[in-house]
A = this chain, B = another copy of it.
């Protein structure tokens, strides 16, 4: 990653996090901004991490569970997830996730 550069998201390398969930990521010193495509039927199992996370749905619908609360989210919806909060998700959307600090485990 270089600072003060322009790039198209499609130029970024794809990274499959779990089957059917593919991300492209920008890692800076302090954050990770990630662009995910999630295939119909894909399941993101419940997990948690020490990173703070914001998520914004770009297209499609998505069943999101955070801290035991489940909602169908759609384009324009966002979620703010505290560090160490269990969350999971189901099926078929594009989404931007931002993590602070940056995801060393995705680099």
A binding-site residues for B, Cβ under 8 Å: 1-10, 26, 28-31, 33, 35, 52, 54, 56, 64, 66-67, 69, 71, 73, 76-82, 85, 96, 98, 100-101
Copies of this protein in the assembly total 2
With A and B bound together, what is the CA distance between A6 and B69 in angstroms? 10
Bound-state CA distance A71–B6 (Å) is 8
Complex contact B73–A6 (CB within 8 A): yes
Say whether, besides A54-B26, A56-B96, A79 and B5 are in contact (CB < 8 Å).
yes
Q: A26-B78, A28-B54, A54-B26 are in contact. Are A4 and B98 (CB under 8 A)?
A: no
Q: Do A7 and B100 touch across chains, with their CB atoms under 8 A apart?
A: no
**Given A4-B69, A6-B64, A56-B9, residue A28 in contact with residue B80 (CB < 8 A):** yes
